[in-house]
Amino acid sequence: AGEDGVLLEYEGTYRYNLLITRPNDKPVSLTQGEVVDLGHTFGVLAGEERKTLVWMVDGTEFRLSSGDLPLQEMIKIALSVYDQSPK
């Protein structure tokens, strides 16, 4: 869909990946899922066995996916990514 991005994969206590893209078109919005307050923005959590948390910061879309990462850990990762992004 005309997107460039970076995929980061992590293995450790939990296995997860983080896809970072700057959508060229309008941002894709998830219509189904649970809204999650990330402090600086809101994300949408979707999925059953494999959960995906999606959020936007300054035109950059983040997709954090994992089969075993608890929601609180997903939120911590989202907050740490935001703290490191240029403001």
Task: Give the tens place of pLDDT for each residue, 25-73.
Answer: 665 566 678 999 998 899 999 998 999 999 998 889 999 999 999 999 9
Looking at residue 30, what DSSP letter applies? -
Residue 32's pLDDT is 78
Q: What DSSP designation does 33 have?
A: S
CA–CA dist 78, 24 (Å, integer): 22
Tell me what pLDDT residue 44 has. Answer: 94
pLDDT at 1: 47
pTM, two decimal places: 0.83
